[in-house]
Structure 1
Amino acid sequence: MTEDEARAALLARQEALAREDAANADARDTVELQQDSVGRLSRMDALQQQAMAQATERRRAAEAVRIKAALARVDEGEWGFCMGCGEEIAEARLRHDLSIPTCIKCAAQ
């Protein structure tokens, strides 16, 4: 994969993350207590759904940081090379995750 292809794919994923985050903003809002119309189990379910949405948001934010760092490496001409040892990262590893910063050997350390 070329750097231009990687940049395009990373930017597309970055945009997708932003759309997903905007679409799920309501699910992370505070759960209002409405004891007259919502039972205890319904509230517990709403709290659990809120917690899951918040965890998903944290995962998306972490991925967005990795993508931003990968785009910086593309701009610097360092994308595809391990940040640990400087060796080339295997093509299969990059296909799995374009934002990966290390080779398998350095990731295992």
Structure 2
Amino acid sequence: MDDPRQQAFRRRLQARLQELSDGEVLGQEGRKIVELDQQSVGRLSRMDALQSQAMAQAASRMRSAEKQRINAALARMEEGEFGYCVDCGEEIASARLEHDPAAALCITCARG
């Protein structure tokens, strides 16, 4: 892959990594432990708070997984393996990388 295209992909990946880190800071409030205090929070309010907490935790897990994918793609760039399928070694289609620069598999391997 030519260097200018790879540098563009690197910038996109790093920008997305920064977005995910910023989202993690904002999501910390939603993951706080919900207190069981019947005087200040009613049963339905507590259920709503628990649901919000579960959604915040799920979002955090998704951000973490995406950060791992991005870091793996950046590592492949450093190793000179970016743009090649990690399973079969074939080149990943340009359109696939344009859509998702962190893609590690060609479309054939991704389909299984």
Instruction: Please say whether Structure 1 and Structure 2 have the same fold, judged by a TM-score greater than 0.5.
Output: yes
**Aligned length, in residue pairs:** 109
Trace 1:13-32 onto structure 2 (pairs within 5 A): 13-32=16-35
Q: By how many angstroms is 1:77 displaced?
A: 1.4
TM-score (norm. length: structure 1): 0.95
SS in 2 for 1:2: helix
Q: By how many angstroms is 1:108 displaced?
A: 1.3
Pick from 39, 44, 48: which aligns with 1:36?
39
CA distance in 2, matches of 1:57, 1:37: 27
Percent identity of equivalent pairs: 54
Gaps of 5+ in 2: none
Pick from 46, 49, 61: which aligns with 1:46?
49
Q: Which residue of 2 aligns with 1:104?
A: 107
Residue 83 of structure 2 corresponds to residue 83 of structure 1: no
The letter for the 2-side match of 1:42 is S
TM-score (norm. length: structure 2): 0.93
The RMSD of aligned alpha carbons is 1.1
Gaps of 5+ in 1: none
